[in-house]
Amino acid sequence: MTSEVVENEFEFYSKAEKYWKDVPATVDGMLGGYGHISSIDINSSRKFLQKFLRDGPNRTGTTCALDCGAGIGRITKRLLLPLFKTVDMVDVTEDFLTKAKSYLGEEGRRVRNYFCCGLQDFSPEPNSYDVIWIQWVIGHLTDNHLSDFLKRCRAGLRPNGIVVIKDNMAQEGVIMDDVDSSVCRDLDVVRKIIRRAGLHLLAEERQENFPDEIYHVYTFAMR
């Protein structure tokens, strides 16, 4: 439970905002110095996502995706724009979204909206997105804010749409990182929050071929 490790909610959020303002607007900056794992990450995410985009009665559409905690648009550029007609991006750091406009190049014309907002205050437009992709950012939300945000995401989905979380998982409990003011939850805690938000887990997968010294990373699909 984040309530056990987050003493001051306002400080928790403002410290994280301040941290990201000082991070270089580069792929390496987005990945905390692990820019070299970007391709491994994207390739695994593509395989995971394409399972839902294949033909079938419950196929997820490819009209519009939302990239949450989008940064400079690493995931938008390499995962979402190749698969979706349009993409919206949301991030708390204005400088990252500004950088995204040049980083995304020509394809960036298909980014419809750049929302500068913390996810605790963000509401996806109802019935708008086929996929809402939330990667390496849930640690910046308290349990209550994450659960509430996921409820709003659920309302933001189009028919057969999915919400995807891809993030670090702790071995046990909830671990606080004072450097970037984030938490890392274990699998059980994340699953409980997903259920609390009224979402049903469709798939869960552990990321392979990441460096041994970093947290295990898991991807969840839900609706």
pLDDT at residue 159 above 90?
yes
Ordered by where they begin, the domains of the chain are: 2-222 (3.40.50.150)
pLDDT at residue 118 above 90?
yes
Q: Residue ranges for the binding site?
A: 69, 74, 91-93, 119-120, 135
Q: Residue ranges for the binding site for S-adenosyl-L-methionine?
A: 69, 74, 91-93, 119-120, 135
- Report percent pLDDT > 70 for the chain: 100
Residue 154's H or E segment, with its range, is helix 143-156
pLDDT at residue 57 above 90?
no
**At a CB cut-off of 8 Å and minimum separation 6, what does 111 contact?**
73, 76, 81, 86, 87, 88, 89, 100, 104
Prediction pTM value: 0.97
87: helix, strand or coil: strand
> What type of residue is 98?
T
Q: Which of 25-29, 51-55, 69-73, 195-199 has the lowest mean pLDDT?
A: 51-55
Q: If pLDDT is split at 50, 70 and 90, which confidence band does 55 have?
A: confident
